[in-house]
Amino acid sequence: MSLVLHGYRYSVYVRIARLALAEKGVAYERVEVNPFSPDVPAAYLALHPFGRVPTLVHDGFALYETGAISRYIDRAFPGPKLQPEEAHALARMDQIIGVVDSYGYWPLVRQVFSHRVFRPAIGQAADDGEVALGLAGAAKVLAALEALASPAAFLVGPTLSLADLHLGAMIAYFTATPEGAVLLDRHPRLAAWWRRLQMRPSLPATAPGLPAPLPPVTQV
């Protein structure tokens, strides 16, 4: 079997796919693709015409869009089921994923994490105003997710689902900031869920770490 995941190691969406593969116990090859590069390889654009990440290629079958990839991983490989069968739980899973994508990604990751952690790590300027805007947006998102979350161990019930992996990849970045960790702790159901999720081996196994600082530009 040939299974290749193309993507940028620091992308939360690549990590979602990696978490699904880890939870299913599936071995795969990784190919690094930086979608922010000005020269994304033509071979990758042939797989993903929009040049984003991730893309999964399974025995010649190419698939992009994280939601499609994670659901395919669950259906195509043996292991624990990552999608509930009961209609209400499955709908709630889809809803939470939709909320996270539509309203959570930008404030949690692109504003708070990027400007508080990622940009300083690579020597780029950060904007405290973006952090403030992100925290305001994150507060609304977390309040909505707190209301949607199941009182059981995981977001939609007693067993892990794709909703946990989708949100978990973003919360991992968000809580890497002091402000994010404090804000999450104000939502008791989500805070307890996050403590449980962090105990799963898939989380440290897929942790991307932080990038090394870019070398200084030498003028000649």
Q: What is the pLDDT of residue 215?
A: 47
Q: What is the pLDDT of residue 133?
A: 98
Q: What is the pLDDT of residue 212?
A: 59
| Confidence (pTM) | 0.94
Average per-residue pLDDT for the chain: 95
Q: What is the pLDDT of residue 209?
A: 85
Q: Which residues contact 214 (CB under 8 A, 6 or more apart)?
A: 122, 123, 124
In which residue ranges of the chain is pLDDT below 50? 214-220
CATH value of 3-76 in 3.40.50.720, 3.40.30.10, 3.40.50.300, 3.30.565.10: 3.40.30.10
Q: What is the pLDDT of residue 210?
A: 73
Same fold, 3-76 and 87-205: no
Fold classification of 87-205 is Glutathione S-transferase Yfyf (Class Pi); Chain A, domain 2 (1.20.1050)
Dist. CA 12–CA 14, nearest whole Å: 5
Q: Where do the structural domains in the chain lie, given as residue ranges?
A: 3-76, 87-205
Q: What is the pLDDT of residue 217?
A: 39
